[in-house]
Amino acid sequence: MRVAIDIQTTLGQPTGFGFYVSNLVRELQKVGTEDEFILLKPHRHEDFSTPQRFIWDQVSLPVAAYRAHAQLFHQPCFSAPFAFFKGPIVVTIHDIISILFPENIPFASRLFYSKWMPFSYRRATKIITISESTKADIMRVLKIPEKMITVIPLAVDSRFEKVPSSNEVKRVRQKYSLPQDYILHLGTLEPRKNLGFLIDVFSEARKTQENQNLSLVITGKKGWYFEGLFEKVRKLHLSKKVIFTGYVDDEDKPALYRGARLFAFPSLYEGFGLPPLEAMAAGVPVISSHTSSMPEVIGRAGILLSPHDKQGWITAIGRVNRESDLRRQMRENNRQQVKNFSWEKTARATLRVYREAVEEYRHEA
């Protein structure tokens, strides 16, 4: 089977999409030894604008897949092509954030992400999604029948489970000017991540003596409507205690996680939530919102709270920071929960969907 896969998201400064694609492709090439994977990417490495994304998805990609004589096309992140490729198409839908939270997206991008992309899914032969929560949203909002959808969870790279050397942790601390004891958040800066709430929680938590040692480290590249976060930090007089690192290089993440006192993730909605799973693999206690897919990812290993319960978050941060026995138990629970996910299982399940899509297309042709 010749499978064409869009790997554009692995270029430049990859985020969750890029890590999904790079890990999936690596494992597909290991387990799909009888198959050929045609990896399609543009010449440019910079992030696409919305018009560039549309042209890539709808013209450049399907033409390249057709010319490569692909039997199946997999769009792992964005819109399914409507023309230029005749054959089965598999689409991975990570979430429907753009439909549920359209106000958080600039108007031009909103037309593509919340209108065109959902419309394009009609072209898919099979749909992969990454959590039961997202599957339920797809069925409820997009009215896509259950028989078309397969849930295949993401996983975490094994390197996050390896203990980095003290020199590596020191190097990363110096590179990003990190304090000794810090609460970590990792993710693109955008309203859905609920970072204004996290900054307010941190501001209140620091007023108690037991939390005076803590700083807040917020990592990730700038997304949409992030400017208010910097203004909030200034107004709360926290400029020396809240550190924005910007985008963090992938090779620095294991040490960044390992150096954290705890990981805080108050997101309003996640299709899966890879950063908390990475933090858990690195042995870091996790406090997360209980919304969308987060209970599936975190299970009983972390502390799950409402993303609006300010006092609950303040209390949880104080407990985790103060109680060494609690941190030890959470680290042990992390190890057990992380065992439920592996990229090999993800790749094998994806291969099964490919074969089902090819077979179904043959019957319908």
What CATH number was assigned to the domain covering residues 158-338? Answer: 3.40.50.2000
- pLDDT at residue 148 in the model: 97
Residue 202: CA count within 13 A, CB half-sphere = 32
Count of CB atoms within 10 A of residue 78's CB?
24
Q: Who's near 65: CB < 8 A, 6+ residues apart? A: 4, 38, 40, 73, 85
Residue 189 is predicted with a pLDDT of 85
Q: How far is CA 217 from the centre of its chain?
A: 18
Question: For residue range 10-41, what is the model confidence (pLDDT) as tens digits?
Answer: 998 788 899 999 999 999 999 999 999 999 99
Per mean pLDDT, which range of 92-96, 190-194, 268-272 is the poorest?
190-194
Using an 8 Å Cβ cutoff, are 11 and 19 in contact?
A: no
**Whether the Cβ atoms of residue 69 and residue 2 lie closer than 8 Å to each other:** yes
CATH 3.40.50.2000 domain residues, the chain:
2-155+342-364, 158-338
**Digit-coded pLDDT (tens) for 38-76:** 999 998 778 888 889 999 999 999 999 999 999 999 999
* pLDDT at 168 exceeding the cut of 90: yes
Q: How deeply is 290 buried, as exposed, middle or buried, from its count of CB atoms within 10 A (0-12, 13-18, 19+)? A: middle
| CATH fold for the domain made of 2-155+342-364 | Rossmann fold (3.40.50)
